[in-house]
Amino acid sequence: MTDFIIFLLGLLLIIGVLTTKFSSWLGVPSLVFYILVGMILSKFIYFDNAFLTQIFGIFALIVILFEGGMNTKWNTLKKVIVPSSSLATFGVLITAICVGAFAKYILNISWAEGLLLGAIVSSTDAAAIFATLGSVYVNRRLSATLEAESGMNDPMAVILTLSLITFVQNPEISILHTLLGFFWQIISGILIGLGIGRLTIWCMNKIHLDSSGLYPILSLSFAVLSYSTAALMKGSGFLAVYIMAVFVGNSQIVYRHSVFRFNEGLAWMMQIFMFILLGLLVFPNELVEVAWEGIVLAIFLIIVARPISVMVSTIKMRFSMKEKLFLSWAGLKGAVPIVLATYPLIANIENSQLIFNIVFFIVLISALIQGSTISLLAKHLGLLHGEKKEVAHSLELMSTTKADKEIVEIHIGSKQAHLSKMTVSQLPLPKDCLITAIIRNEKIITPKGNARLLENDVVYILIEKGKISEIYKIFSINEDI
């Protein structure tokens, strides 16, 4: 039996990986196929352990949020911090209220349960959006707004969901107490994320481990620590993870490339297993029973609730009506709503199974309808900006020997403009430091002594770990954000 389970896990991983290519070709998020695989398996494997699903789902979301935060560029994020923050806060609240009110009417449930359903489906999934766009891309401001909104509204949806579950379980709790708990989750999540982020950077750069493969594990361990520390303090664990990841991802750390590659692969694996597991938790016959309500609620969310939340949240912001329409349609649902739907099941909330099935329906319909049409809409609105450029180079960063050396990646920006006045041979580099490659316009330039650095160049430098801080100082780079 054990060997069969291992065989099944391997087979599911292969199917999941190959499915990503198939989903890109169809223009549909891969989560749809992962869930369908799980639902098909539910015909042969009985699984109804919501607690186990929730534990795995939480860990998977930690990995996914950590990977997303690490890849979020602070220089880009700060340019869209106002619209993305507005969408992630006011947008989540407006979506929850609109869907909650409509759900109360359609499903004949209480106000609290309706708002709980609305909160669960209020977050978006930027990864699913960009995957369905395929080989084309929208302007950077739009994509950055969607990316930042997705990263920030996941924790907000979790905070709102947990607050409403507490309110449903204890109706005698005052609104003021609930609001204070809501703000405490946000504040503590941010502070813990920043604190552990700083600790992560220090440990990554100061502790010399025997194997480079241990550094990605160390960084992920701190992400788990961020979540658990915040959760134990009744704060937002997911917000702590995201803040910590953004902080670390925008700082100079050793084995940076290895950490990013490790997180990317692990995040994909977590998504595959998580959606398959969530598919196992669903019983198709129960979905059929709520099909009409699920379809109506999904359409209401897509056509009414999301557009209202976008229009209100972006009032007086520099978005054209076409861009607002695209933001409205780009509210694809992903992993977070389905994982959050397990919380009412664990808490034994009345109508929790109904809520779970409805959420499942909404996520599937959102992925199928919005996922398959978002590229066409972007093209129709004239928001596409050509084809994505292929990466012309690939350079693996790794420890070359046991001699405690590291290849550091430096991006040349306006802060390094003064260095363009000097040739490579004139740069005040530390002893035994060597520039190994210069990437310019996606081409590798041999770093000869008379070569000069230009803005937007990417420079790779071989140096001892103990002297990395000297390189940061020479190139005017802060180790923190």
The confidence score (pLDDT) of residue 386 equals 55
Decide which of 264 and 375 is more confident: 264
Neighbours of 98 (CB within 10 A): 20
Residues 6+ apart with CB under 8 A from 133: 374, 375, 378
pLDDT band at 272 (very low <50, low <70, confident <90, very high): confident
Considering the domain architecture, whether residues 307 and 413 belong to the same structural domain is answered as no
How far apart are alpha carbons 474 and 26 in whole angstroms?
A: 48
The confidence score (pLDDT) of residue 368 equals 86
State the residue range of the domain holding 53. Answer: 2-387
Mean per-residue pLDDT, 263-283: 86
Backbone angles phi, psi at 405, to 5 degrees: -115, 160
Helix, strand counts (H, E) of the chain: 21, 6
Does residue 63 lie within any of the structural domains?
yes
Considering the domain architecture, whether residues 373 and 449 belong to the same structural domain is answered as no
Does residue 396 lie within any of the structural domains?
no
Q: Which helix (H) or strand (E) holds 192?
A: helix 175-206
Neighbours of 304 (CB within 10 A): 15
Does residue 82 lie within any of the structural domains?
yes
**Average pLDDT for the chain:** 84
In angstroms, what CA-CA distances link 127 with 32, 110, 182?
Answer: 14, 33, 27
The confidence score (pLDDT) of residue 402 equals 47
Whether 397 contacts 258, CB under 8 Å: yes
Lowest average pLDDT, out of 117-121, 252-256, 387-391, goes to 387-391
pLDDT band at 318 (very low <50, low <70, confident <90, very high): confident
Considering the domain architecture, whether residues 426 and 361 belong to the same structural domain is answered as no
Considering the domain architecture, whether residues 452 and 315 belong to the same structural domain is answered as no
How far apart are alpha carbons 246 and 240 in whole angstroms?
A: 10
Mean per-residue pLDDT, 258-273: 88
Does residue 394 lie within any of the structural domains?
no
Structure tokens at 309: 């939340």
Mean per-residue pLDDT, 20-25: 74
Compute the radius of gyration of the chain from its Cα atoms: 24
Q: What CATH number is given to the structural domain containing 201?
A: 1.20.1530.20
Structurally, how many domains does the chain consist of? 2
Whether 78 contacts 148, CB under 8 Å: no
Q: What CATH number is given to the structural domain containing 409?
A: 3.30.70.1450
How far apart are alpha carbons 59 and 344 in whole angstroms?
A: 18
In angstroms, what CA-CA distances link 384 with 116, 132, 135, 318, 381?
Answer: 36, 13, 10, 18, 8
Whether 449 contacts 420, CB under 8 Å: no
